[in-house]
Structure formats: C-alpha cells, structure tokens
C-alpha cells in the first residue's frame, strides 16, 4: 500500500459532506508531496514552527489546518496563511487570533475545542465555557474571526462504547447550538472529530471533518 491508495480507499468510505484533513505532522516533505499529487489539499499540523516551515516549502494552494494546542504568543506566525484553527480553547487565544488576523487583513475560521475525553490531560473548553465564550459581548464584536464549529478528541482507549458516547455528546451539543440564535460571526457548520483509531465511530456519530495521520501515511 502507498499513500495514494490509502487516500483513495479512505475517500471511498467517507459520506458526502465529510472532509478529510491529512495530518502531516512529523511527515517529511516528499510524503506530503505524494499525498498532494493524489489530489489531497487539506493538511493539518500541530506545531507552529513545523506548520510555518512546511507552508513555506510546499505548494501555495494547500489549505493548512492548525490542529494542536496553540500558544497565544505564536498566533502571529500562522495568522497570514492558516485556513482553519481547530484548537481554540480560551477567550484570550481567540482575542489574539482576531487581533493578528486584523493585522494581516484576514478573517480566520476557528473551531472551539471541547473537552470530551475522560483523560485529564487533554485541552479544551467545557460546554459551559464554550457557551460563555460565544455569548460574550467582546467575541460578538470580533471582525476577524469566524467561529465555524467544534472540535473534539475522543479518549485513547479500546473501549469503543466510551468513545462513541463522547462523540455523541459532542454532536448533541453541536446540534443544540445550531438551533440557537448565534452571533453573526458564529455558525455551527463544522464538527471536527475522528482520528485514525476512531474515525469510523466519529463518522457514524455525525463528524463532518476527520483528521487522519497514521493510517494515511503508513506504507508497507
Ligand atoms: C496527531 C493528531 C491527529 C491524527 O492522529 P492519527 O492517530 O495519526 O490519525 C488528529 N488530531 C490531532 C489533534 C492530532 O494531534
């Protein structure tokens, strides 16, 4: 199996409306080029330095996703080009994204990362924190960000029932927000959930964007 086959096979299993982000962290440029040559355009990275360096060296029509924890002081490096930030987990970070996007004259699409897994170590907002953030008068007035939905990571466990419950509760929250009167810069259109180990469950539970690294870049 090569990367092209992996992508083709994966794409065939995706329902319409579910987008594939190829997670290229730690992958060398030639592997990413191979995925690009198969038509893949959405790529995700979890470190600012690696993201910036790959952006500079790879084709300009790649859509770059920031999927990892983002430090406020590093937003400025990716603001000029990043397409979607999946990992907004604090009001302070969102404020800085708005500020830096304004400086480059852009509007940056963002997802709020929700803490859905059991593990203590994972980043993310609680449902209540996410609601407070969306409803805050400051956020309402941001002109350079657009909150486009939610992101969540399931627990790293073999207990598929637990992972399914986590994704289901995130989807339920997403659906509830969708029914509400959201500010003009907020819409619930993207639900980013599912990685190599759990994307099938995530899709069954309503994911619209999966983030796949290991199983896409593996070659045998
Ligand atoms: C690494 C990573 C992925 C991809 O994980 P795989 O198991 O390699 O598919 C998805 N999302 C985030 C946030 C990641 O850091």
Q: Does the structural domain 3-217 have CATH classification 3.60.20.10?
A: no
pTM for this one? Answer: 0.97
Determine the atom of ligand 1 nearest the C-alpha atom of 21. 10
User: What spacing in Å lies between the alpha carbon of 182 and ligand 1's midpoint?
Assistant: 29
Nearest C-alpha to atom 7 of ligand 1 is from which residue?
A: 196
Q: What is the pLDDT of residues 81-137, one digit of tens each?
A: 999 999 999 999 999 999 999 999 999 999 999 999 877 666 899 999 999 999 999
Query: Is the minimum distance from the CB of 196 to ligand 1 under 6 angstroms?
Result: yes
| Paired residues of 111 in beta bridges | 149
Contact by Cβ (8 Å): 136, 90: no
Ligand 1 lined by 141 (C-beta under 6 Å): no
Q: What pLDDT, in 10s, does the model give residues 38-75?
A: 999 999 999 999 999 999 999 999 999 999 999 999 99
């Amino acid at each position: 199996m090569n990367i092209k086959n992996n992508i083709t096979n994966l794409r065939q299993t995706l329902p319409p409306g579910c987008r594939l982000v190829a997670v290229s962290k730690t992958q060398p440029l030639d592997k990413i080029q191979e995925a690009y040559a198969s038509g893949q355009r959405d790529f995700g990275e979890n470190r600012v330095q690696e993201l910036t360096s790959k952006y500079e060296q790879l084709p300009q029509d790649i859509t770059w996703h920031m999927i990892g924890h983002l430090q406020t002081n590093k937003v400025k490096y990716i603001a000029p080009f990043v397409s979607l930030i999946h990992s907004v987990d604090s009001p302070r970070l969102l404020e800085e994204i708005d500020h830096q996007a304004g400086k480059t004259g852009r509007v940056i699409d963002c997802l709020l990362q929700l803490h859905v897994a059991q593990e203590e170590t994972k980043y993310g907002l609680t449902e209540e924190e996410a609601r407070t953030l969306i409803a805050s008068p400051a956020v309402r007035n941001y002109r350079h960000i657009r909150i486009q939905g939610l992101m969540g990571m399931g627990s790293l466990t073999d207990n598929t029932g637990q992972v399914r419950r986590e994704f289901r509760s995130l989807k339920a929250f997403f659906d509830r927000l969708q029914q509400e009167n959201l500010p003009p810069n907020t819409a619930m259109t993207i639900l980013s959930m599912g990685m190599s180990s759990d994307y099938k469950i995530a899709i069954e539970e309503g994911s619209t964007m999966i983030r796949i690294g290991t199983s896409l870049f593996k070659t045998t």
